[in-house]
Amino acid sequence: MGSYLPNTEQEQLSMLREIGCGSFDELFAHVPEKVRLKGELKLPPGRSEMEVLSEMEAIAEKNRRFRHIFRGAGAYDHYIPAVVGSVTGREEFLTAYTPYQAEISQGILQSIFEYQTMICELTGMEAANASVYDGGTAAAEAAAMCREKKRETVLISAAVNPQVAGVVKTYCYGSGMKTVTVPEKDGVTDAEALARLLDETSACFYVQQPNYYGNLEDAEALGQITHEAGAKYIMGCNPIALALIRTPGECGADIAVGEGQPLGLPLAFGGPYLGFMAASAKLVRRLPGRIVGETVDRDGRRAYVLTLQAREQHIRREKAGSNICSNQALCALAAGVYLSAMGEEGLRQAASLCVSKAHYLAGELVRAGLKMKYGRPYFHEFVTVAAGRSDAVLAALEERGILGGLKLNDDELLWCATEKNTRAEIDDAAAAVKEVCAG
């Protein structure tokens, strides 16, 4: 199939006759006459492809495009191998929606199955679904999975991404579940407060690793406290960090979720992104959305099918744990291609570069006059204190075409570095900060 589907006027009339219409007016006869347009749009004549491209480029030039990015907070500027766009740009993938007669689309199902397998390997969990809309949705759906008759309270760490926490709270409000925020202490979840707040009504506890401030939580200890209270343990994870740190499976998590954008998806003005979900075997029947399984056909050949479908798609709505029955198939394909291209060593190298460059950035910013807020281990994000100069620091960086850290308040900035940031870029950013702090 080509990229364009042109047809002549004669072909259009032929199609109209085939469906029993003599004209386009007759085709839209069911639209009330009073709401039809009669030349009001006054569209100009069509332009050539070169003219349209030139005008679109002129419009795009009005956007502020930063040369270098030192901001994360949930969306990260990682290098994407060219093979990711090459594969996902193929028309059989790019134009395909999640198939409703799924088993005839073996290629799509295999790509999802491979994605699920790699997510399980990455998280150390036993089963994964075919993805959901984004990381916030994944966290909210995970909380819904944990609901039981006498356990309807969701505990959320105050150190998680506030946007993700907002999605979880919205879901819980709609379903009648209660949410409780567990306070943070010195940049991480207050374990003693968690132990006090957990009770017989607690369904689950959700924490991020690393957390919103970039700090590494004592995830294993938090999981133990949660399980001692009889609640489920949900970990939201940065997938790149999982190449270096202990997996959710190793930390005792019942469900692992996260934002899959770092796995081969561009920043793209905020989406579309990808929510990954994985769980222990005992919770596999509660996983929302689609799950692809591997089997054999009647001739003994490998085949892929949608499995465990009778969870929300084919039962009464009021008995369903979720109303998601689709998935981000193209984004999941991109993540699968990215993970395949990077491999275990490539992913570990990217993660190691993130750590080393973030620590170099932190050191240079401190030398420039900022202070670190926390003295805790971190992956590739950290918070600095700017003594009321957050706006001045960001403005100075913008003048150099640099997107600085996320402003948390007048004093604090949340910074991020990835494998894409070079030493020269970091030094340039630090020089701009030094000028502000010295002024």
> pLDDT of 16-69, one tens digit each?
999 999 998 899 999 998 888 887 888 888 889 999 999 999 999 988 889 999
Q: Is residue 282 part of a domain?
A: yes
pLDDT band at 97 (very low <50, low <70, confident <90, very high): low
Q: Is residue 63 part of a domain?
A: no
Query: Would residue 60 count as lying in a domain?
Result: no
395 in any annotated domain: yes
Residues 97 and 229 reside in one and the same domain: yes
Q: What is the DSSP letter of 77?
A: -
Which token pair is 207?
A: 């924490």
| Residues 276 and 357 placed together within one structural domain of the fold | no
Q: Are residues 327 and 384 located together in one domain of the fold?
A: no
Domain shared by 348 and 333, yes or no:
no
**Mean pLDDT along residues 250-259:** 98
| 398 closest CA partner among 68, 131, 129, 147 | 68
Q: Quickly count: other Cβ atoms within 10 Å of residue 103's Cβ.
A: 13
126 and 212 share one domain: yes
Phi-psi region at 388: left, alpha or beta (left = phi > 0; alpha = psi -120 to 50): left
Chain segment 207-237, per-residue pLDDT in tens: 999 999 999 999 999 999 999 999 999 999 9
What mean pLDDT is predicted for residues 268-274?
Answer: 93
In total, the chain counts a number of residues equal to 439
Read off the pLDDT band of 203 (50, 70, 90). Answer: very high
CB 277 within 8 A of CB 287: yes
Q: For residue 399, give the amino acid letter.
A: E
**409 pLDDT tier (thresholds 50, 70, 90):** very high
What pLDDT, on a 0 to 100 scale, did the predictor assign at position 1? 40
Same domain, 330 and 350: no
The torsion angles phi and psi of 258, rounded to 5 degrees, stand at 170, 170
Whether 414 and 405 have beta carbons less than 8 Å apart is answered as yes
Q: What is the CATH number of the domain that holds 434?
A: 3.90.1150.10
Two tokens, residue 378: 């971190």
Residue that finishes a domain, picked among 307, 338, 369: 338
User: Residue 112: what pLDDT?
Assistant: 94
Q: Which of the 8 DSSP states describes residue 378?
A: B
Q: Is the pLDDT of residue 296 over 80?
A: yes
Sign of the torsion angle spanned by Cα atoms 125, 131, 136, 141: negative
Q: Would you say 383 and 408 are in contact if contact means Cβ atoms under 8 Å apart? A: yes
pTM of the model: 0.88
Measured in degrees and rounded to the nearest 5, phi and psi for residue 123 equal -95, -15
Apex CA 161: angle with CA 74 and CA 342, to 5°?
A: 30
Q: Domain check: are 163 and 135 in the same one?
A: yes
Structure tokens at 256: 């692992």
Minimum mean pLDDT range among 91-105, 111-125, 323-337, 338-352: 91-105
What is the rounded distance in angstroms from the CA atom of residue 163 to the CA atom of residue 405?
Answer: 17
Q: Is residue 385 part of a domain?
A: yes
Residue 129, domain CATH: 3.40.640.10
Q: Which two tokens stand for residue 46?
A: 């069509």
State mean pLDDT over 134-143. 97
pLDDT at 46 (0 to 100): 85
In whole numbers, what is the pLDDT of the chain averaged over residues? 93
> In whole angstroms, what is the distance from residue 81 CA to residue 88 CA?
12
pLDDT in tens, 152-188: 999 999 999 999 999 999 999 999 999 999 999 999 9
**Is 240 among the domain residues?**
yes
pLDDT value, residue 312: 57
- If one counts the domains in the chain, the total is 2
The answer as to whether 300 is a domain residue is yes
The confidence score (pLDDT) of residue 3 equals 54
Distance CA 367, CA 437 (A): 10
Whole-angstrom distance, CA of residue 434 vs CA of residue 438: 6
What are the two backbone dihedrals, phi and then psi, of residue 220, each rounded to the nearest 5 degrees? -65, -40
Cβ-count burial of 399 within 10 angstroms (0-12 exposed, 13-18 middle, 19+ buried)? exposed
- Residues 276, 286: Cα–Cα separation, whole Å: 15
One domain, residues 286 and 140: yes
Same domain assignment for residues 315 and 348: no
Query: Is 131 part of any domain?
Result: yes
* Structural domain that includes position 317: 82-338
Measured between alpha carbons, how far is 425 from 431 in angstroms, rounded to an integer? 10
Residue 309 has pLDDT above 80, yes or no: no
What pLDDT sits at residue 184? 97
Instruction: Please give the pLDDT value at position 98.
Output: 64
Same domain, yes or no: 220 and 365: no
User: What's the alpha-carbon Rg for the chain, to the nearest Å?
Assistant: 25
Confidence of residue 2 (pLDDT cuts 50, 70, 90): very low
The pLDDT value recorded for residue 373 is 97
Statement: residue 294 has pLDDT above 50:
yes
Question: Which of 338, 365, 397 is at the close of a domain?
Answer: 338
Single out the residue in 338, 364, 395 at which a domain terminates. 338
pLDDT attached to residue 37: 83
Same domain, 308 and 393: no
Same domain for 209 and 305, yes or no, is yes
